[in-house]
Structure 1
């Protein structure tokens, strides 16, 4: 079968013919890949900045059709041959016995998304840049009507991660009233960010979408325009030409003297790996709010303890989400028209995709397996 294999760090992918996986065993399923998305983590991995070994077939966010089921797949999952599913990278074959697998908060019994013994498709196990791939039946989610494979693939990491981050920031994802809630998304014009803007608005939040750079700001303009009557819930901020203090006044009004902490965002999501982004987000927050970091720069972030102590700001981190998050996010995206802005490539043009990514292409870049 066709595949793109990373054989050396900091080198192009190599197109190869490799063996198709054998019949799935246990709780595994075999998937005919229809679309595979490229993520920032793919770039980090390809640069040799992670701990996994080579060679590897990349992509930990993909989608396709189930063509075979292992003998132990639970019927409660609603999976069968011919069903289209989205496939996130985490977690392939967790141990089933550790704390994460036992205390899994509504996921399938014995399945822990954060099990440290689990594999990760596209990182420790081969992922979606191939025609057929194995996955754990408990890690996937059926594609709702209205979503294509190209729509679904970017949601398998970017979508579920930003969905979970919004919940951690305090957004009610279960039908509650978010009309009084404001969230700042720093890096809103990237893959996660532009999905987060759409989710937050459709959930009823006021959004402060912060970016720098022409391509990212142009994407945000497109996203805002696409929201139609809800577009007035979004304030786009060019962080290169304004200050967080000015943004707080613009969005929330001038505070009463000595009560500056009463006005600001209820939550902030930090997506870029930069200290400037972290500082900008923290300064947009009101007292008793939550800062959620999704990025993980090698040198870390410097924080001011007084923000945590005197302003009572909570600092949280998020890595993807549980399977229940995945399924809920997909249903919401299908029902409310949340879509990634995508550019598609054939599998043979994967290295062109990578080049465009590093040159600052906006939105999500996706391999469409139907393209030649």
Structure 2
């Protein structure tokens, strides 16, 4: 099978042939249809994930068809179209796992970081961590829903938005664009915050009522003039961008980060105390969150804007992402 292998930090992917693996107990072999290229993949290759185990096949936005099942697996059956996500395994018995919060398991294992992921024609995955796709959902366009979509959708839920909540989304890129569409579908009023007005037309097309360009306007002051945001979702890979908006929260509001970098998050303590503000960094989601994300996406016809690429194009796509020129979400498609 054709495979892209990360051999070490700061080295390009090596395209090579490997034997098709066999699933063990509790595992399924998935013939991959598509795998999204996520910013986390770039972070792994640039050494920002010290838990990464090289050599490694990256990729955790996976869709495909179950080709074989290992001993003890009765679900999903061979022939089922499934998706696989960032969270690839957990211990199954800690308090978090038994509550359905496997993403918080201290012994969780991450797809494409500690075991091989989706930059290959086949992958062996844990049966309990793959999710059947809803009928009619395009598996190629749906691949980024397994991380970008899941993260956006679950971040909005963690922020406890309701109908008519004022939601501000920082970063109109892949995760942010999905967050805008999800929030609008949930009945929220949405503002989008970007550095320039380049993405304003698309944001308004997706249902945003307000666009704030930080090169022209202080985002926190603009949010205050809007009435204050009940939830600010930072989808930009910048902690500083989130810090700049925090005082624009309404009382009892939430700042949820699904994008960040190594800069510290600076909190205005007195403002937070007087207004009972909340801050959370959301790490993707658990299997039940994935099911909910896919069902909601199918019900509301929410799919990302994607660019299809081949496996041999993965290095070029990652280089474009590193340079800030990625455009639509790149998805590796296997014939």
Asked if 2 retains the 8 angstrom alpha-carbon contact of 1:8 and 1:54, the reply is yes
Once superposed, what is the RMSD of the aligned Cα atoms?
1.8
TM-score, normalised to structure 2, is 0.93
The structural deviation recorded for 1:46 is 0.3
Q: Does residue 67 in structure 1 map to residue 67 in structure 2?
A: yes
Mapped to 1, the partners of 2:25 and 2:245 lie a distance apart of: 45
Q: Does residue 207 in structure 1 map to residue 185 in structure 2?
A: no
Aligned pair count reads 333
The structural deviation recorded for 1:143 is 1.2
Mapped to 2, the partners of 1:367 and 1:97 lie a distance apart of: 35
Q: Does residue 91 in structure 1 map to residue 88 in structure 2?
A: yes
- Bigger Cα Rg: 1
The correspondence for 2:217, drawn from 236, 242, 253, is 242
Q: Does residue 163 in structure 1 map to residue 153 in structure 2?
A: yes
Asked if 2 retains the 8 angstrom alpha-carbon contact of 1:160 and 1:321, the reply is yes
Q: What are structure 2's unaligned runs of at least 5 residues? A: none
3-state SS, counterpart of residue 154 of structure 2 = helix
Q: Which residue of 1 aligns with 2:174?
A: 191
- Where in structure 2 are the equivalents of 1:68-217 lying within 5 Å? 68-75=68-75, 79-92=76-89, 94-104=90-100, 112-172=102-162, 178=163, 180-187=164-171, 189-213=172-196, 217=198
Mapped to 1, the partners of 2:108 and 2:158 lie a distance apart of: 24
The structural deviation recorded for 1:276 is 3.4
Q: Does residue 294 in structure 1 map to residue 277 in structure 2?
A: no
3-state SS, counterpart of residue 29 of structure 1 = strand
Point out the more displaced range, 268-277 or 136-145: 268-277
Mapped to 1, the partners of 2:67 and 2:146 lie a distance apart of: 20
Residues 154-199 of structure 1: per-residue CA shift (max 9 Å, x gap): 0111111111110111124xxxxx1x21111111x12211100010
Mapped to 2, the partners of 1:285 and 1:87 lie a distance apart of: 34
Mapped to 1, the partners of 2:264 and 2:224 lie a distance apart of: 30
Asked if 2 retains the 8 angstrom alpha-carbon contact of 1:26 and 1:70, the reply is yes
Mapped to 1, the partners of 2:278 and 2:221 lie a distance apart of: 23
Mapped to 1, the partners of 2:214 and 2:74 lie a distance apart of: 49
Point out the more displaced range, 113-122 or 346-355: 113-122
3-state SS, counterpart of residue 298 of structure 2 = helix
The correspondence for 1:327, drawn from 286, 291, 301, is 291
After the TM superposition, which segments of 4 or more aligned residues of structure 1 sit over 6 Å from their partners? none
Q: What are structure 1's unaligned runs of at least 5 residues? A: 106-111, 173-177, 253-262
Asked if 1 retains the 8 angstrom alpha-carbon contact of 2:240 and 2:263, the reply is no
Q: Which residue of 2 aligns with 1:5?
A: 5
3-state SS, counterpart of residue 56 of structure 1 = coil
